[in-house]
Amino acid sequence: MPLPAYLILAALVFAIGLFGVLTRRNAVGILLGIELMLNAVNINLVAFARFRADIGGLIFTMLTIAITVAEVAVGLAIVIAIFRVRRTIEADHLDLLRG
């Protein structure tokens, strides 16, 4: 398959993830949407690494995968901590910082 096929697929998954981030009410659902967006970026990185014959894209993908795992761990810990205090993880109800 040519490079644009992979890039368009990645763009589609990124757009779907963005839709999830924008529309989900639940904080965990928003995190899942962010996962999809990061995943789409990884497809782009690997595709460019393949079609430019450059190892850097693969290294970058490994680093982003590991960073994403850390981000998920911290994000879900924050969700659990918020849930303990507020008894909800509805993003619309978490407006403590609203003026």
Partner 1 sequence: MIAETVGFWVMAVVLVGGSLGVVLTPNLFHAAVLYLPAALVATGAIFWLLESPFLFGVQLLLYAGGVVTVVVFAIMLTERLVGASIRQGSRFVFNGAVLAAALFVGVVGFIVQRAAPPAPPAPAGEQMVALGRALVGPFGAALQLLAVLLVAALLGALYFARAED
Amino acid occupying residue 72: V
Query: Which residue in the block uniquely carries the two structure tokens 């509805």?
Result: 90
- Rule CB under 8 A: is residue 19 a binding residue for partner 1? yes
- Rule CB under 8 A: is residue 94 a binding residue for partner 1? no
Query: For partner 1, which is the closer residue by CB, 72 or 94?
Result: 72
Q: Residue-wise over 19-28: b if at least 16 C-beta within 10 A, else e?
A: ebbeebeebe
User: Is the CB of residue 33 less than 8 Å from the CB of residue 17?
Assistant: yes
Query: For partner 1, which is the closer residue by CB, 28 or 94?
Result: 28
- Rule CB under 8 A: is residue 86 a binding residue for partner 1? no
Gap between the Cα atoms of 58 and 90, Å rounded: 36
* Site of interaction with partner 1 (CB under 8 A): 1-9, 11-20, 22-26, 28-29, 31-33, 35-36, 39, 42-43, 46-47, 49-53, 55-56, 58-59, 61-63, 65-74, 76-81, 83-84, 87, 89, 92
